[in-house]
Structure 1
Amino acid sequence: MSKSPGHRQHPEHKVLESRVPHTMKVEVDGVTVAQSDDVIRVDEDQAPARYYFPRSDVRMEMLAPSSVTSDCPFKGHATYFDLKAGAKPLEGAVWTYESPYDEHLALRQRVAFYDDKYPQIRVQGG
């Protein structure tokens, strides 16, 4: 894609990626939505740790495209999914960077879960 404008304008802002050395799992109301031993942890200043799972290890049939989008000056344009679990879908509970900035290409084709926004989402193993 291109270089991140956020990293150029704010070099002091940290967005650190690291491989998780063990298996991680995401459950919603007791149902496993994702499980992988290939997870990237992202630690960004002033944000909770986020765990990015490869799509191949996520039950993508439980996700429906959402109209929600956002732009991060450090990582890129995010598109969201609603998570179909339980009686009511969790709107915009999952996101992805289809074309992240060059500094965060490892996040491409991965999804992260809003476990702080939706308490029924449990990310385990981190």
Structure 2
Amino acid sequence: MKALWNDTVLAESNDTVVVENNHYFPADSLKSEFFEDSIAHTSCPWKGRASYYSLRVNGELNKDAAWFYPEPKDAAQQIKGHVAFWKGVKVVE
């Protein structure tokens, strides 16, 4: 699987975890030069508190376009250390 935005591969892995139709990529599959820490957080009743990354590619910013659960609840332990995408990021095989 590949995560693409702005004609650039952000992450690539054969070992994603699918939860609620989202592919979660292992953290070590991310191309870290495109990721910036965000102060955004949201909460999910069964996964826990999500943190976000913004993406910067070719000078363009996609704010809070990737999320992860640093300390997921017990029911979501399979996504610990994984990152998912939205806001126009395409996930393709």
The TM tier, using the shorter chain, reads: over 0.9
User: Matched residue of 2:59: which SS?
Assistant: coil
Displacement over 4 Å in runs of 4+: none
User: Matched residue of 2:49: which SS?
Assistant: strand
Alignment match, 1:122 = 90
Unpaired segments of 5 or more residues in structure 2?
none
* 2:28 is aligned with 1:56: yes
Moved more, 26-35 or 91-100: 26-35
Q: Which whole-Å CA distance do the structure 1 matches of 2:15 and 2:35 have between them? A: 20
* TM-score normalized by the length of structure 2: 0.93
Deviation of 1:39 after TM superposition, in Å, equals 0.2
- The aligned runs of 1:57-76 (5 Å cut-off) are 57-76=29-48
Unpaired segments of 5 or more residues in structure 1?
1-23, 44-48
User: Matched residue of 2:28: which SS?
Assistant: helix
- The aligned runs of 1:74-93 (5 Å cut-off) are 74-93=46-65
Alignment match, 1:37 = 14
Q: Which whole-Å CA distance do the structure 1 matches of 2:7 and 2:53 have between them? A: 20
Higher relative contact order (CA 8 A, sep 6+): 2
Q: Which whole-Å CA distance do the structure 2 matches of 1:87 and 1:111 have between them? A: 22
> Which amino acid letter does the alignment assign opposite residue 43 of structure 2?
D
User: Matched residue of 2:46: which SS?
Assistant: coil
Deviation of 1:27 after TM superposition, in Å, equals 1.1
% identity of equivalent residues: 29
Structure with the larger strand share: 2
Deviation of 1:87 after TM superposition, in Å, equals 2.9
Superposition CA RMSD, Å? 1.0
